[in-house]
Structure 1
Amino acid sequence: MNILVTGGAGFVGSHLCERLLNEGHHVICVDSFFSGKIENIKHNLKNPNFRLIKHDVRKPLLKELGSEKIDRIYNLACPASPDQYQFDPILTLETSVIGAQNMLKLARRTGARFLQTSTSEIYGDPLEHPQKETYWGNVDTLGKRACYDEGKRAAETLCKDYRLQYGVDARLVRIFNTYGPRMMFSDGRVLSNFILQAFLNEDITIHGDGLQTRSFCYVDDLVEGLIKRMEIESDDWLPVNLGNPDERSILEVARIVKQKINSKSEIKHLSEKEAPNRMGDPRQRCPNISRAKDFLGWEPKIGFDEGLDKTIADFKKRLENKPHVAVFTPSFLPMKGPAEEKASEVMEQLAGWEFDIFTARLDKKLEKETHDGRMHIYRLGSGSILDKYLLPVRAALRAKKMDKKYDYRISWAVMASYGALAATLFSWIAKGSKPMLLSVYEGDITEKMLKKGKMLAPIYKFIFRQAHRWQVIGQMNEQQRAWLEDERKVQAIRIDDDKKLLAKRTKEMFQELEILSTRL
């Protein structure tokens, strides 16, 4: 059969594509790469039965397919992790609703059978436990998660009406928490967060008391359920829960992950104030899968212990090749200044990345290249004062060359000067696909920075226009900090704050920019 999978480069979608290829089908993978990753499907690209179309499902898929016959459409397109779908809530809502409608129109035009992957999120913070398909849910329509919850609800309604009004063979599944290889690092899902934190010996962060519960279904079991729901010959189109009813508390899961990895991490409980993005998280989530058992003959086969071992092994393998950040700074250690010291402290704390530091050599006694743990320093130039003036061009070209190997997702400019100009030029060479964090380190924002700003205003304006995110580290009172963060959307950190806090805030910026890099 000719089978189209939207969101086919995502976590679940890539496993589904692989399974369908193994069964001998011709698979058309459609993905915008807003949250999907080319690494997930790279091994399929040489398969003659696999075709990749880069496309945003918010737009009709007509020209790319032409008159090609489509037998099945699996609609998985939509950011599914909290950090991803809250990053751009309008995109999330439009992908769920407009995307589903475009795919339903395609199913109507081609006569394809259509499967909509809905979510357990449509149950909200459930008052019924475990949740049956007949439960209407308890959803906050204006909450943080509403863009995802309400989008999926509307998509279900579209499926129902396209079936009743146009006779489209549309079917529904509601997916509960799923885990397995290829989950994104730090994507906001509880298991990926815990595993990554445990491997990096960071605090394993739990929101609240940790007594909230989830049930986790291994991805291979879920894929089996999706195929069974698609292929069953029946006029019953109503939703089917797909998940594992093995319910566990979040605190229990954190302890199991820590023990399996033999991590030195501490388990830390965060308040709502410390984790505002988690407001609205349901207290309980567990599927009633009686309908899946009776109707599809489906139930999970892989236990949590076995599935977690496979997932941890996948994370360990991928962590051997950590993502690299391109860092641009006019000077770096051993040349010491407040900016260099703060930047190096941050890098030492952020164990999830490797840092390629492009800087001016300035002194002939300094080696052109040194490697210190995860910090790789490339000193460019002959060792004279001219090096800093030539740094923008030299560093941008060197980063471009190394980008072929490391595929930088982020560029980081330390100080708004020659390093920032280098980062800006690198971003321009990369056609804007490498989002830039600009960190300004100043001892006195109210006097020194403003004074310097008057002299270099045109250059500052140019640099700040090119940066995607901004960070100011300096002397400031609470009123100034609040003004920068609330009014100017600049991350503001007092220079005397704990270095762990600075690293934590910078990590938040990196994670946000990694998501942004998929949109550029």
Structure 2
Amino acid sequence: MDGKNCLVTGAAGFIGSHLCRRLLDEGAQVHALVRPGTGLERIAGFADRLVIHRADVADRDALSTCLAQAEPDVVYHLATPTRFAGSDPVANAAASMETIVQTLIALVAALADLPRPPDNFVRTGTIAEYGNVAFPYREEQREAPVTPYGTAMLAGTHYLALLQDDLPFPSVTARLALTYGEGQSPNFFVPALFEACQTGRPIKLRHPDDRRDLIHVDDVIDALLVMGQAPLPGARHINVSTGQAPTMRQVASRILEVMGCNADLVDVEDNSPSQKPSVLLSDAALAGQIYGWRSRIGIDRGLEMLANSYLQEHKPLRQHHA
């Protein structure tokens, strides 16, 4: 990436901030596209090295101004919400189409109109695109998503593949497993449990036997960097995953261990006999075949790395030793 102009949408988000930092370290000129009103806490430590653009992707004029200034060689599109606030499924479906699919198409259209389109377009997708299909998930499977988020993300993946032959730039969707790491919102279970260890407040584990393919953010960034290099044939959507799916009970136990906390901090709500545990698990073989990429940070090491960052950031730590 040395010397390349890279544009990152969703740059102030969890994964986007990690990507921006790594691109800078790789010698790239990084243009960070951030929605008006979004906090810059995650990128504050290196914001002076970024070119920050305050614009909404849905605002065509603002987006065109940003692209004209950035003249990107590589575009990373990470600006997609992962959750919707409402409980109305129809309203959530409409919101997902507007914020995920329409935003993607607007960005692709603006890039296609540039005098010099980018050399590559990398978009982050999600393991939730697969939904109710046999696991481990493989790219050739017909998907059956079960949420508005997963459905809209899948629609974006298929639209991008549909348009590929008519676009003046190549594209690929990285279907990410459930990503964790430093800087993630405590609205997600892994950081929520680390925060519980920090504060001493008990936390409930509602589905302990559910299994999840959890991938460390450093592994994800490694994959995104290699996917942003010269486009390779055979890549339309690619799983970025570990190929392992520990139970949430195992994950919770490991977090308590690395943080030195008592097991009674977690209130485990056992699954009822009639409730079959759910599994989210992807096969990353194609990423290895095409890009030579594979996950290198196992769950034990990844949680230990995250614990170290918490211990350094939150001193003195209120510990609950067994």
TM range (shorter): 0.7 to 0.9
Matched residue, 1:30: 33
Matched residue, 1:165: 166
Quote how far apart the aligned CAs of 1:167 are: 4.0
SS at match of 2:160: helix
Whole-angstrom CA distance in 2 between matches of 1:218 and 1:204: 22
SS at match of 1:115: strand
Q: Give matches, 1:377-416, under 5 Å.
A: none
Quote how far apart the aligned CAs of 1:309 are: 1.7
Whole-angstrom CA distance in 2 between matches of 1:33 and 1:79: 15
Counterpart of 1:7 in structure 2: which amino acid? G
Q: Give matches, 1:335-484, under 5 Å.
A: none
1:287 is the counterpart of 2:295: no
1:119 is the counterpart of 2:111: no
Tell me: higher relative CO, structure 1 or 2? Use CA pairs within 8 A at least 6 residues apart. 2
Counterpart of 2:300 in structure 1: which amino acid? D
SS at match of 1:41: helix
Q: Give matches, 1:323-338, under 5 Å.
A: none
Matched residue, 1:9: 12
Whole-angstrom CA distance in 1 between matches of 2:279 and 2:178: 12
- Deviation per CA, 1:30-68, whole angstroms, max 9, x where unpaired? 12277x641111122222xx2111222222211234354
SS at match of 2:128: helix
Q: TM-score, normalised by structure 2?
A: 0.85
Matched residue, 1:301: 296
Is the Cα contact below 8 Å between 2:9 and 2:77 reproduced in 1? yes
SS at match of 1:99: helix
SS at match of 1:162: helix
Change (3 A) 1:68 1:39: closer
Whole-angstrom CA distance in 2 between matches of 1:266 and 1:19: 35
- Deviation per CA, 1:106-160, whole angstroms, max 9, x where unpaired? 3212311211111100011x331111111222323xxxx31x1122012112211
- Deviation per CA, 1:4-40, whole angstroms, max 9, x where unpaired? 0001111111111111111111111112277x64111
Unmatched segments (≥5 aa) in structure 1: 273-279, 323-350, 352-520
Change (3 A) 1:252 1:239: same
Change (3 A) 1:68 1:309: closer
SS at match of 2:235: coil
Whole-angstrom CA distance in 2 between matches of 1:37 and 1:214: 29
Matched residue, 1:41: 43
Is the Cα contact below 8 Å between 2:223 and 2:240 reproduced in 1? yes
Counterpart of 1:54 in structure 2: which amino acid? R
Is the Cα contact below 8 Å between 1:221 and 1:300 reproduced in 2? yes
1:136 is the counterpart of 2:126: no
- Deviation per CA, 1:175-234, whole angstroms, max 9, x where unpaired? 0011111112x21x22112211222222232123x1110122111111111111221432
Change (3 A) 1:237 1:109: farther
Over aligned residue pairs, what C-alpha RMSD do you find?
2.6
**Percent of paired sites with the same residue:** 21
Q: TM-score, normalised by structure 1?
A: 0.54
- Deviation per CA, 1:446-471, whole angstroms, max 9, x where unpaired? xxxxxxxxxxxxxxxxxxxxxxxxxx
Unmatched segments (≥5 aa) in structure 2: 87-91
Whole-angstrom CA distance in 1 between matches of 2:251 and 2:111: 41
SS at match of 1:205: strand
Matched residue, 2:89: none
How many pairs were matched up?
A: 300
1:236 is the counterpart of 2:234: yes
1:269 is the counterpart of 2:268: yes
SS at match of 2:125: strand
Is the Cα contact below 8 Å between 2:171 and 2:236 reproduced in 1? no
Quote how far apart the aligned CAs of 1:271 are: 8.2
Whole-angstrom CA distance in 1 between matches of 2:102 and 2:313: 34
SS at match of 1:155: helix
Change (3 A) 1:138 1:161: closer
Quote how far apart the aligned CAs of 1:245 are: 1.6
Matched residue, 1:215: 213
- Deviation per CA, 1:414-456, whole angstroms, max 9, x where unpaired? xxxxxxxxxxxxxxxxxxxxxxxxxxxxxxxxxxxxxxxxxxx
Is the Cα contact below 8 Å between 2:31 and 2:70 reproduced in 1? no
Whole-angstrom CA distance in 2 between matches of 1:232 and 1:63: 26
Whole-angstrom CA distance in 2 between matches of 1:5 and 1:15: 11
